[in-house]
Amino acid sequence: MSTGHQRLKGPGFVTPALIWTFAFFVVPFLVMGTMSLATLEGRTLVWGLSLANYAELTEKAYLWRAIMVSLEITLTVTVVSVILAYPLAWIIAYRIPPRWQRLALLLAILPFWTSYVVRSYAWLLVLAREGVVNQTLISMGLISEPITLANTRFATVTGFVHFFVMLLTLTIYANLVQLSPNYRRAAMDLGASAFQTFRHVVLPLTLPGIVTGAFLTFVLCIGDYVTPQILGGNTELTVPQVIMVQLGRRADFPLASALAIVLMAIVTLVYILSARWLRLDRL
Amino acid sequence: MTRLLPWLYLAAAFLFIYLPVAALVLFSFQDGGLPVPPFEGPSLRWYADILSDDDVMAALTNSLMVAVASAAVACVLGFLAAYGLARHVLPGSALIRGLLIAPLTVSYLIVGLGLLIVIQRTGLGLSLFTAGIGHVVINLPLCFAIIYASMGAQQQNAERAARDLGADEFRVITLVTLPMLAPALAAAFFLSVTLSWDEFIISFLLTRFDVTLPVEIWSMLRSGLSPRLNAIGSLVFLISVTAVLVLEIFVFRKRRP
């Protein structure tokens, strides 16, 4: 009696969230998929099962270029962020006394909690022609003329790396503190140098944390519109920027949808490639 | 030297992390018209300027409303789903969990684009309400995951005891489950508020006349660098940081033994 009662109630609790996810996530996604197979004739939308939008991606140079630019920027950002974040997470986990670690970590990732828009604007301040970096370098006598830093790929990458170093420090730190110090002690006792201990013991054990953080970085970076739009200038466009151009000026929803599907396909591919080491449930 | 190296690295890292924040906040107190060196001031004129700007204040109120309302809806839905899945045997529960978490793996732009297409097809107008729907979509997975993860055996025993003593389901939830889950619920709520407060692209795509603060900032950005933007940006940052610190102090501190 009581178990039958409970079986009736379980679905009742889950239903509202399921309906929400279905109506406002699954259905829009399916509509978007269908939209990517439609075409635009003049300004009217023609539904159908056409692969014309996907064919356009390889035919039109600027679309293909955008995919390449997105991949280049995202891979650069992911690699640089991991390389910069690992030592930071290491220092917080192993050099800072345990009672101060939580505070150090909180401080190290505090600017993480800012809007993309505000954070990118702040970097514009730093990198602008009359900005902090140029003025400092000039007053130090290192350069005589301001150098162009804003509105370049360098600026986009810097803005992204700033954000993802904080994210990765968090995921890698979480991995490092879970590691028993005995592993390192054992390796050292057996005569391994500090570098050997790192290379053969700590690094393999923290690989899941690195891959999970790197995957998150990849997903968030390749889908972001704000950072390249504010910091990158308009010399080269990323996929999200091209999507927004299609939506705005041309109202070409089919092509925008196809580009969104391509973004998702890339992310899925990366997910499959890294699935072996991914621990999304342990975040 | 090698002993100093970690501390030098730490200092360099903190310089990198705080350089843009410092520039943002410092030049919000700039007395002149450009937020670049040399620093003149301090002056509060730009704060006075934005606090008396009706568009900015309206956007700030909109942002707070959308953030609180969407976080509340996401928490309620997330809690109910977590309770249903953790306490009852359901067919296909792994699939349901996967479906509820799925929006996390899709970028905000794509979530916003899909909703935009559907809303335009159905002829519903774009408004703060539609932006709020989008924010629930992205926050529901987080709320569900956080609450589901903290529904342990300890709570289950307390719930069973309450049931044995004659409490009905409603009383079990309100008198036992919810109080015991308070830290997880607060964490989910404040995290959702912060993410919604900072979110730009979904709000940008799904609002029209009334906009949220990040969208308002975006349209002001077209006129270039300005200490006004520094002042608004500092304010936005201050509010996000406050939410995070409240979370840290009142939720996570208590959990430690």
Per residue in B210-232, pLDDT tens?
A: 999 999 999 998 888 888 999 99
Q: How far is A34 from chain B (nearest CA, A)?
A: 11
CB atoms within 10 A of CB A52: 15
Tell me whether B250 touches chain A (CB under 8 Å). Answer: no
Tell me whether A254 touches chain B (CB under 8 Å). Answer: no
| Distance in angstroms (rounded) separating the CA atoms of residues A251 and A265 | 23
pLDDT tens for each residue of A55-94: 888 888 889 999 999 999 999 999 999 999 999 999 999 8
B90 to A10: CB separation less than 8 angstroms, yes or no: yes
Q: Which residue in the set B20, B77, B241 is minimally distant from A17, CB to CB?
A: B77
Closest chain B residue to A32, measured at CA:
B114
Which residue of A92, A113, A151 to mutate against B (max B Cβ within 10 Å)?
Answer: A113
* pLDDT score of A150 more than 60: yes
* pLDDT score of A172 more than 60: yes
Question: What long-range pairs does A55-59 form, CB within 8 A, spacing at least 24?
Answer: A56/A255, A56/A258, A57/A258, A57/A259, A57/A262
Using only C-alpha atoms, chain A has a radius of gyration, in whole angstroms, of 24
* pLDDT score of A3 more than 70: no
Please state the rounded mean pLDDT for residues A16-37.
Answer: 93
- The ipTM (two decimal places) reads 0.87
Q: How far is A238 from chain B (nearest CA, A)?
A: 13
Classify the C-alpha dihedral B235-B214-A216-B186 as positive or negative.
positive
Please state the rounded mean pLDDT for residues A89-102.
Answer: 89
* pLDDT score of B257 more than 70: no
Q: How far is B182 from chain A (nearest CA, A)?
A: 19
How much is the pLDDT for A71? 96
> Residue B1's pLDDT band (boundaries 50, 70, 90)?
low
How much is the pLDDT for A5? 47
Q: How far is B183 from chain A (nearest CA, A)?
A: 18
Please state the rounded mean pLDDT for residues A163-187.
Answer: 87
Interfacial A residues in 63-122 facing B (CB < 8 Å) = 84, 87-88, 91-92, 95, 106-108, 110-111, 113-119, 121-122
Highest mean predicted confidence (pLDDT) among A5-9, A179-183, B18-22: B18-22
Residue with tokens 């009742």: A12
pLDDT tens for each residue of B24-41: 999 888 887 788 777 787
Separation of CA B149 from chain center: 19
Structure tokens at B40: 């003149």
Amino acid (1-letter code) at residue B79: F
> Residue B254's pLDDT band (boundaries 50, 70, 90)?
low
Structure tokens at A106: 């909180």
Spell out the domains of chain B, with CATH numbers in brackets.
38-47+68-255 (1.10.3720.10)
How many residues are present in chain B?
257
Q: How far is A32 from chain B (nearest CA, A)?
A: 5
Q: Which residues of B are less than 8 Å from A106 in CB distance?
A: 248
Please state the rounded mean pLDDT for residues A11-28.
Answer: 90
CB atoms within 10 A of CB B234: 22
How much is the pLDDT for B88? 77
How much is the pLDDT for A27? 94
Q: Which residue in the set A9, A25, A132 is minimally distant from B111, CB to CB?
A: A25
Tell me whether A42 touches chain B (CB under 8 Å). Answer: no
Which residue of B79, B88, B215 to mutate against A (max A Cβ within 10 Å)?
Answer: B88
Closest chain B residue to A95, measured at CA:
B6
Q: Are B195 and B42 in contact (CB under 8 A)?
A: no
Nearest one of B97, B73, B72, B74 to B148, comparing CA atoms: B97
pLDDT tens for each residue of A103-121: 899 889 889 888 889 999 9
Q: Which residues of A are less than 8 Å from B208 in CB distance?
A: none
List Cβ neighbours of A77 (8 Å cut-off, separation of 6 or more).
Answer: A157, A160, A161, A164, A217, A221
B114 to A25: CB separation less than 8 angstroms, yes or no: yes
| Distance in angstroms (rounded) separating the CA atoms of residues A278 and A108 | 24
How much is the pLDDT for A86? 93
CB atoms within 10 A of CB B34: 14
* pLDDT score of A2 more than 50: no
| Distance in angstroms (rounded) separating the CA atoms of residues B220 and B59 | 12
Q: How far is B254 from chain A (nearest CA, A)?
A: 14
Mean pLDDT of chain A: 87
Tell me whether B87 touches chain A (CB under 8 Å). Answer: yes
Please state the rounded mean pLDDT for residues A185-206.
Answer: 84
Report the SS3 class of residue A46. Answer: strand
B198 to A257: CB separation less than 8 angstroms, yes or no: no
How much is the pLDDT for B116? 93
> Residue B160's pLDDT band (boundaries 50, 70, 90)?
confident
A14 to B80: CB separation less than 8 angstroms, yes or no: yes
Q: How many CB pairs under 8 A join A and B?
A: 234
Q: Are B131 and B66 in contact (CB under 8 A)?
A: yes
Q: How far is B93 from chain A (nearest CA, A)?
A: 10
Please state the rounded mean pLDDT for residues A217-242.
Answer: 92
A125 to B87: CB separation less than 8 angstroms, yes or no: no
Q: What does residue A233 show for φ and ψ, rounded to 5 degrees?
A: 70, -170
Q: Which residue in the set A10, A122, A260 is minimally distant from B110, CB to CB?
A: A260
Spell out the domains of chain A, with CATH numbers in brackets.
60-282 (1.10.3720.10)
